[in-house]
Structure 1
Amino acid sequence: MDKVDIVYLWVNGADPVWQRKRQGAQQQKLDPSELAQYGNVAGRYRDNGELRYNLRALERFFPDHGQIYIVTDAQKPAWLNDHPGVTLIDHAELIPEHALPVFDAGHIESYLHHIPKLSERFIYLNDDIFFGAPVCLTDWFKPESLPVFFDTQAAPEHNEIQPNETALVNASILSKHWLGRQFSNYQHRPWLCAHSPRALLKSVMAELESEAAELFAAVRSTTFRSWQIPPIISDLLLRWMICKGYATAHQQQALYISSCDTEAEQQFAALRSQFGALPFFCINDTCDDCPDHDPRLQAVEQVLQQLLPQPSRFEIPGTV
């Protein structure tokens, strides 16, 4: 069977060319009343070196992966070498010119299954979600179903999408209404989808795109993340796969680290003690608009360097 490809979204928010794109789009297309909570903060675009360490974790824990695709906006990490196992995919290869530039990950990820030469089976990772233990592929691609991980904490209960809720909460509300109309016996699980790797099938994403064309069109109309148009790949796709029998639900208390949390130090300590036995973990940049030299952000790279000091084959030797 073909190997499983890996897909990342990545952006370097410190790139001056990219910053000019963002500033221009903010002036022309950003309506503050439509902006989702935390939808345009610096932390959403900041590069804390996670992708570099993510590839180190991938090489350590899942060396038999397939092609790596990094979806980005005309950017390339300075440390990344020209390795045949890595393909950079520019937004312009996936997204129509009239919709560019795009700063909403929910818009961008709606095109992942259109990546040229992408394998039928693939795993989608944000660069802040890491494998933390050896990957057993049959845990992710069982013959009968794919795993969908939910947080153990219940989501806030709302009947309608809320301007002051997070994108994940609003995505859950959208799923509840849309899936309730599609499936007469639909029972909505009152949990949020976990920050986890997503095991996906290209053909299944294409099937949902055909069935939910109006939702794909809506999310593909955004420039910045809108509270009125939640992402669909990070919630609705996953719940729909369960409804269709392509996936099964799992509740798992995965390790989630929030970089600005008052308990971040204890969370990092848990990561150090459990590293090598964690199926996956997330280090979320929640410092929002703090300066890049904030000590809480520097701690992220320090911990990752301690845990994953060995450069991967994808790095230019000697680069910092």
Structure 2
Amino acid sequence: MIWVDSNDANWEKDFLYYKSKDHNLIQKERYDPCRYRDWENLQYWFRSIEKYCPWVRTIHIVTCGHFPKFLVKEHPKLNLVTHDQIIDKEYLPTFSSHVIEINIHKIKGLAEHFVYFNDDTFINKPLDPEFFFKQGLPCDGIVLQPLMVVGAENFLGAVALTDVAIINKYFNKRQLFKKSPYTLFNFNYTVKNNFINFLEFYNRKFSSFYNMHLPQPFLKSTFEGVWECEEDYLNQVCTHRFRHPLDVNQYLFRIWQLCSGRFYPINLFSRGQNFNLRLETLNEIADVVREEKLPQICLNDDEQVKDFEQLKRELIRLFSEKFKTPSSFECQISDF
């Protein structure tokens, strides 16, 4: 997991200094606080992991050097990782999640099979290891999409196009079908999923992939393979201290994994849901959390959030009701 404490005075000082010097930043990225602000709910992430995935062996948390105050730093299941342990010093400090994501395979002690979390993704019900990996492969699925048309300031769309452009250098759909036909058409997929892939099959090139912003199972060797093929480009991405439209992100590695046929096919739409945080969606989120209707959820912050403080209070109240017992990762605070 990667995390940042935007309230850290030293971090903020560096952030403002390098932001003022980076003339490549577009206006939206320059002033948007949603990329960094803290919702103060990370302790509930740890509670959800301990309650619903007690089989997890190690949690790696990656930061620029600061860590949540509540953490038991000596916890035997916790590995505290700083950016300088996985990213070359010439690229630091970095304020880009993309740069951090493409280097996570360099974490010392990281297993071949690992699950990548953002700090806005939560486990919402008990899960077995087989939910993420079966037969030694990440559980995932291919859902093809038509070509996206994006504007110059659409970061996610632009980065997705860069991801796919690299994929098309090394893979095409017909070769994938000949090698592993079950990856594109599978009984574990929905009828709609198979039909969508059939409609997109006419073109040898990949246009776009459906990506869910949820915890993602990976093989470390996938990252190593992509770096071996695209080291120059990935190093170029690392030079961007802030997110850039020509970046790549974690989804390049996910799609590479898919196009290599190194995954166990599952129904992607049964995995969970991404909720944009709004006062209007709070009732739906609360119902899903309390009734455990979905195995995983993402609570996505974005520039459309208008009531940050109120939303934060409501989410903390919701999670404190669901996860009442502190995890072993939390320091016990005494009253005097």
TM, length-normalised to structure 1: 0.85
Secondary structure at the aligned position of 2:331 is classed as coil
The one-character-per-residue Cα deviations of 1:133-172 (angstroms, maximum 9, x if unpaired) are 21221221111632236789x67722xx6422132x2232
User: Structure 2: how far apart are the matches of 1:39 and 1:140?
Assistant: 36
Aligned residue in 1 for 2:159? 171
User: Structure 2: how far apart are the matches of 1:28 and 1:79?
Assistant: 34
User: Structure 1: how far apart are the matches of 2:130 and 2:32?
Assistant: 38
User: Structure 1: how far apart are the matches of 2:88 and 2:31?
Assistant: 22
Matched ranges for 1:109-188 at <5 A = 109-143=101-135, 145-148=137-140, 157-158=148-149, 162-167=151-156, 169-184=157-172, 185=174, 186=204, 188=206
Cα pair 1:128 1:284 within 8 Å, conserved: yes
TM, length-normalised to structure 2: 0.81
User: Structure 1: how far apart are the matches of 2:29 and 2:143?
Assistant: 20
Aligned residue in 1 for 2:235? 217
Aligned residue in 2 for 1:15? 8
Tell me the C-alpha RMSD between the 2 structures.
2.6
Secondary structure at the aligned position of 2:210 is classed as strand
Secondary structure at the aligned position of 1:278 is classed as coil
Q: Which of 41, 44, 47 is the aligned partner of 2:32?
A: 41
Closer/same/farther in 2, CA of residues 172 and 31 from structure 1, 3 Å limit: closer
Aligned residue in 1 for 2:79? 87
User: Structure 1: how far apart are the matches of 2:220 and 2:168?
Assistant: 24
Secondary structure at the aligned position of 2:47 is classed as helix
User: Structure 1: how far apart are the matches of 2:273 and 2:326?
Assistant: 24
Cα pair 1:42 1:289 within 8 Å, conserved: no
Aligned residue in 1 for 2:185? none
Larger Rg: 2
The Cα of 1:289 is off from its aligned counterpart by 8.1
Cα pair 2:121 2:299 within 8 Å, conserved: yes
Aligned residue in 2 for 1:27? 20
Structure 1 window deviating more from structure 2 (131-140 vs 101-110): it is 131-140
Secondary structure at the aligned position of 2:154 is classed as coil
The one-character-per-residue Cα deviations of 1:261-319 (angstroms, maximum 9, x if unpaired) are 353223323323432x4221011122578686x21222222221121121100001128
User: Structure 2: how far apart are the matches of 1:151 and 1:52?
Assistant: 33
The one-character-per-residue Cα deviations of 1:31-81 (angstroms, maximum 9, x if unpaired) are 334x6x557621211111232111100001100101111100110111111
Cα pair 1:10 1:51 within 8 Å, conserved: no
Q: Percent identity?
A: 22
Structure 1 window deviating more from structure 2 (173-182 vs 215-224): it is 173-182
Q: Which of 321, 326, 329 is the aligned partner of 1:311?
A: 326
Aligned residue in 2 for 1:296? 311
Closer/same/farther in 2, CA of residues 39 and 155 from structure 1, 3 Å limit: farther
Structure 1 window deviating more from structure 2 (174-183 vs 67-76): it is 174-183
Aligned residue in 2 for 1:108? 100
The Cα of 1:177 is off from its aligned counterpart by 2.2
User: Structure 2: how far apart are the matches of 1:30 and 1:14?
Assistant: 24
Aligned residue in 2 for 1:69? 60
Closer/same/farther in 2, CA of residues 156 and 43 from structure 1, 3 Å limit: farther
Closer/same/farther in 2, CA of residues 189 and 271 from structure 1, 3 Å limit: farther
Closer/same/farther in 2, CA of residues 13 and 94 from structure 1, 3 Å limit: same
Closer/same/farther in 2, CA of residues 181 and 30 from structure 1, 3 Å limit: same
2:214 pairs with 1:196: yes
Closer/same/farther in 2, CA of residues 90 and 291 from structure 1, 3 Å limit: farther
The AA in structure 1 aligned to 2:261 is G
Aligned residue in 1 for 2:181? none
The Cα of 1:198 is off from its aligned counterpart by 1.1
Cα pair 1:151 1:194 within 8 Å, conserved: no
Secondary structure at the aligned position of 1:206 is classed as helix
| Unmatched tracts of structure 1, length 5 or more | 1-7
The one-character-per-residue Cα deviations of 1:103-131 (angstroms, maximum 9, x if unpaired) are 10010111111111111111110011011
Cα pair 1:129 1:283 within 8 Å, conserved: yes
Greater strand proportion: 1
Closer/same/farther in 2, CA of residues 121 and 56 from structure 1, 3 Å limit: same
Closer/same/farther in 2, CA of residues 30 and 102 from structure 1, 3 Å limit: farther
2:261 pairs with 1:245: yes
